[in-house]
């Protein structure tokens, strides 16, 4: 069923815009449809994502987004993203840190059932909280291509990935 939804979304060209979690858009875009966005830091308590308290910051970010297609009511159907993004992760218990490159391009499809589909040929960060029915909890960096479905209740399901790094394991 998930493969069918992915094929349908891509072949039908369902394109919608949505802002990633903890990102805000700068409405002073360049006039070509691309608008800068800013990612805010996250602080996850121990046990929610990793066994330890995890802090995620973005020391390098120049990501832009544009709505490539909209529904008749004007809400985004397809949103494109591009640009550099480096995530700095810290295990607040041990002080260990790691930087991961989330730079590249990607497309976000906002589907009529309020679910979302990310199709990313480059790099993508995926946060999976405890209790997710589709994937083990953790902070994952997917690179080399990925497709991720986000349910209407905000639970990610990795449909395809080339390479995955579990940041929680790296920082343990």
- Domain extent, residue 38, equals 2-171
Question: How many domains is the chain partitioned into structurally?
Answer: 1
Query: What pTM was estimated for this model as a whole?
Result: 0.80
pLDDT per residue of the chain (172 residues) written in tens, 0 to 9: 332 223 222 222 222 223 344 455 544 555 689 999 999 999 999 999 999 999 999 999 999 999 999 999 999 999 999 999 999 999 999 999 999 999 999 999 999 999 999 999 999 999 999 998 888 899 999 999 999 999 999 999 999 999 999 999 999 9
Contacts 24+ apart (CB under 8 A), 161-168: 164/140, 165/100, 165/140, 165/141, 166/138, 166/139, 166/140, 167/50, 167/54, 167/89, 167/98, 167/100, 167/138, 167/139, 167/140, 167/141, 168/49, 168/50, 168/51, 168/52, 168/54, 168/138, 168/139
């Amino acid at each position: 069923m998930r493969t069918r939804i992915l094929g349908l979304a891509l072949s039908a060209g369902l394109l919608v815009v949505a802002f990633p979690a903890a990102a805000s858009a700068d409405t002073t875009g360049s006039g070509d449809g691309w608008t800068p966005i800013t990612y805010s830091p996250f602080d996850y308590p121990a046990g929610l994502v990793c066994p330890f308290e995890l802090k995620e910051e973005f020391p390098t970010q120049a990501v832009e987004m544009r709505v490539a297609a909209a529904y008749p009511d004007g809400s985004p159907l397809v949103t494109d993203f591009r640009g550099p993004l480096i995530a700095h992760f810290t295990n607040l218990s041990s002080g260990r840190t790691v930087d991961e490159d989330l730079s590249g391009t990607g497309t976000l499809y906002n589907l009529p059932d309020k679910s979302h589909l990310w199709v990313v040929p480059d790099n993508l960060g995926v946060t999976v909280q405890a209790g997710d029915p589709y994937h083990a909890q953790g902070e994952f960096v997917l690179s080399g291509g990925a497709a991720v479905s986000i349910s209407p209740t905000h639970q990610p399901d990795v449909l395809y990935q080339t390479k995955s790094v579990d940041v929680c394991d790296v920082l343990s």
